[in-house]
Structure formats: C-alpha cells, structure tokens
C-alpha cells in the first residue's frame, strides 16, 4: 500500500490505526487482551503536561490522516469511509478537548489558529460539530473562542484562578 509511518514523533499509533485499514479484506473479533496501557505514570504522552509540549505532533498526525482520507475517500467502500470518518472525528474531538478543556490555554495560540483554519478548510462538517459536542460545564468554549475572543480570555482567567484556589 506504499505506507510510510511518521517517525521521531509521538502519537503515530493513530496513523497505524487509520491508514492500513483501507486494505483490510476481512476482520474478526479476538476475545483476549493483548495489551494493557498503564495509565498514571509521569511522562506518558497522555499526561496533559507532556501532551502540551507535543501538541504540534498530534496535530501533524491529524493533518496527515485528513490528507490520506481526502485522497482515498472516493475510492473506498462505504464501510471504510465510515470507519475513517469516525476515526477523524474521534481524533479531532480529542485534540480540541485537550486544547480547550484540559490544558487551559497552555497550547500556543498560533498553533490553535492554524488548526482551526485547517479543520475549517479540510473537515468543514467537523468544524461546525465541535461547537456542539465539546462543552465544559455546559459552556460552549469553542464558540466562545471563535466569536468572543475577549470573553474567552476572561473565561480562561477565571478558570486559572479557580484552579489555583482549589489546589490550595
């Protein structure tokens, strides 16, 4: 299939899940645990403090997956397209959740703006859905970021202040 996985960056397992599935002819369920991901150790890529420093790598992977999808979507079966679209939605939502909920604005604003522009251009349906799906305590934080940047900055300041108060 001429697949070359990205090297030297984190989160490439998402590419491995995504791209080779286009060549799958059949699949079956294997009812045994083959691998258990141990969570909670410092330094893991799912640790938000680590993720913040590697956000650009996850976004790079999402872009690579999106380009791959756009190149093969018209040549793939409905089942494959549905699976890939679902994976893209999952990754996009995870990244936005990390940026807008978990990291409390620790990610570089230029990176966020680039991601927003990319998603709006190449995944327009996801761009619109993100506002509906990602909320924090009922607040549409992405809509706030997109349409009311000053109010978003006030919101971030309130969250950071509350986080400091409750840590003490």
Domain membership of residue 142 (yes or no) is no
Domain membership of residue 104 (yes or no) is yes
Domain membership of residue 57 (yes or no) is yes
Q: What digits encode the pLDDT tens for the residues 110-156? A: 999 999 999 999 999 899 999 988 899 889 999 999 999 999 999 98
The end-to-end CA distance of the chain, in Å, is 54
Report the pLDDT value the prediction gives residue 9, as an integer from 0 to 100. Answer: 85
DSSP state of 20: G
All residue ranges of the chain with pLDDT < 50 are none
Domain membership of residue 158 (yes or no) is no
Domain membership of residue 150 (yes or no) is no
Domain membership of residue 47 (yes or no) is yes
Domain membership of residue 3 (yes or no) is no
Q: What is the domain extent for residue 88? A: 13-134
Report the pLDDT value the prediction gives residue 111, as an integer from 0 to 100. Answer: 92
Tally of structural domains, the chain: 1
Report the pLDDT value the prediction gives residue 27, as an integer from 0 to 100. Answer: 74
- Give per-residue burial for 148-165: e unless 16+ CB within 10 Å, then b: eeeebeebbeebeeeeee
DSSP states of 83-130: HHHHHHHHHHHHHHHIIIIISSS-S-HHHHHHHHHHHHHH-HHHHHHH
Domain membership of residue 139 (yes or no) is no
Report the pLDDT value the prediction gives residue 101, as an integer from 0 to 100. Answer: 86
């Amino acid at each position: 299939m001429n697949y070359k996985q990205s090297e030297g960056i984190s989160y490439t397992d998402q590419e491995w899940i995504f791209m080779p599935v286009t060549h799958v002819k059949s699949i079956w369920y294997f009812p045994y645990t083959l691998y258990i991901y141990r969570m909670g150790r410092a330094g893991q890529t799912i640790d938000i403090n680590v993720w913040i420093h590697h956000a650009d790598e996850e976004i790079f992977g999402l872009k690579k997956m999106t380009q791959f999808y756009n190149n093969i979507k018209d040549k793939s079966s409905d089942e494959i397209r549905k699976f890939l679209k679902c994976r893209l939605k999952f990754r996009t939502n995870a990244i936005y959740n990390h940026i807008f909920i978990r990291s409390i604005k620790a990610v570089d604003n230029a990176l966020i703006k680039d991601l927003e522009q990319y998603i709006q251009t190449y995944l327009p349906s996801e761009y619109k859905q993100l506002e509906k799906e990602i909320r924090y305590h009922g607040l549409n934080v992405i809509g706030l970021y997109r349409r009311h940047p000053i109010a978003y900055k006030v919101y971030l300041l309130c969250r950071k202040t509350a986080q400091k108060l409750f840590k003490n």
